[in-house]
Amino acid sequence: MKTAGNTRIGKSAMLLLLTERSEEDWNRHFNELNWSYCTGRIGSMDSQKIVAAIETAAKRSDIVREDLYREMHALYHAIMEALTGVTRGHTQLGEILRTVGLSFSVVRGTPYAQEEEGEWIAVALYGTIGAPVKGLEHETIGLGINHI
């Protein structure tokens, strides 16, 4: 828990979605670092609902303060960057007849050794994208990182 890899905020956010590590284990991991995180799931043809689900989860988990625009702004741009990876070109879903089923994570922490670098936020997305027909879909991934 002291290796460089452990303080990779993007890697941590992605591994939260890709490995079967227990919640207890993750809690211990992030507690040691004094970082906060949350995870959730959202399936929709509507990009707006994806954004809302992630923002709501981050606010309810006290990862960001919803009354502080500075923090909401940092989170929003991290979500947009992650969504760009998921959609690979146009941040559109139903408008171009496709849908996603995603798990997401948000991690807030201090990934740089230098203390002044302060806090950063990572949003990771992993799931499937495809036609609105069961099975006609492939995997998709996105990661957004921002200073907060």
Q: Which residues of this chain interact with its own copies, rule CB under 8 A?
A: 5, 8-11, 14-15, 18-20, 46-48, 51-52, 55, 68-70, 72-74, 76-77, 80-81, 83-86, 88-92, 94-98, 111-112, 114, 116-118, 120, 122, 124, 126, 130-131, 135-147
Q: Order of strands across the sheet with 99-109?
A: 36-44, 99-109, 120-130, 137-147
- Considering beta carbons, is residue 15 or 61 the nearer one to its own copies? 15
**How far is the C-alpha of 120 from the C-alpha of 129, rounded, in Å?**
28
Residues 6+ apart with CB under 8 A from 123: 13, 54, 75, 78, 79, 81, 82, 104, 105, 106, 142, 143, 144, 145
- Closest approach, Cβ 12 to its own copies, in A, equals 10
CB of residue 63 vs its own copies: minimum separation in angstroms? 16
d(CA 125, CA 41) in angstroms, rounded, equals: 9
Least Cβ distance, residue 21 to its own copies (angstroms): 11
Whichever of 28 and 88 has its CB closer to its own copies, that residue is 88
As measured in angstroms, the least distance from the Cβ of 71 to its own copies is: 8
